[in-house]
Structure 1
Amino acid sequence: MNQLATATQVVSIAQIEAAINAWRNRTPVPAGQNEGEAIVLCAEARSLADVYGGMIFSRQQQIPLSALSSDQVAALAIIG
């Protein structure tokens, strides 16, 4: 398990947002796509965006690590 999970076994909404932004920086919008068009997220960012949106909707500040899929946990590894 990565450093993210060692202490508290929860992930904050800020950590999820940071990971989404890191993935967006790593895999930017495809060439030829204008700013006004729909933004396509890579698979890692998309999986985290699903969790992030749910947390915003339910006003959660953190979520148990056990509630995330293995792909989502792997996508969080980008923030260490």
Structure 2
Amino acid sequence: MPSQSNSGSSNNSGSGFSYKSSGTNSRGNHYCARDYGSGVANPNSYHYSNSNGSYYYSNSNGSTYHNNGKGTATYTPAQGK
């Protein structure tokens, strides 16, 4: 994995999640991981955005969203919900 800065964990009181980690690597790609606890389909959701304009979300409800930065996006709904 490329080197990255890491802000560590922090509590985001009142929003239903806490930040697990986030940072930006030497190529300018950003990520953020959140912990929503056990009451959601995907408690360890995250997103990343890349310097080429693409980004990806893995959401707490189990859905995903990907944009390739070139005009194409794909949404995948949560399974079984």
TM-score w.r.t. length of structure 2: 0.25
Structure scoring higher RCO (CA < 8 A, sep ≥ 6) equals 1
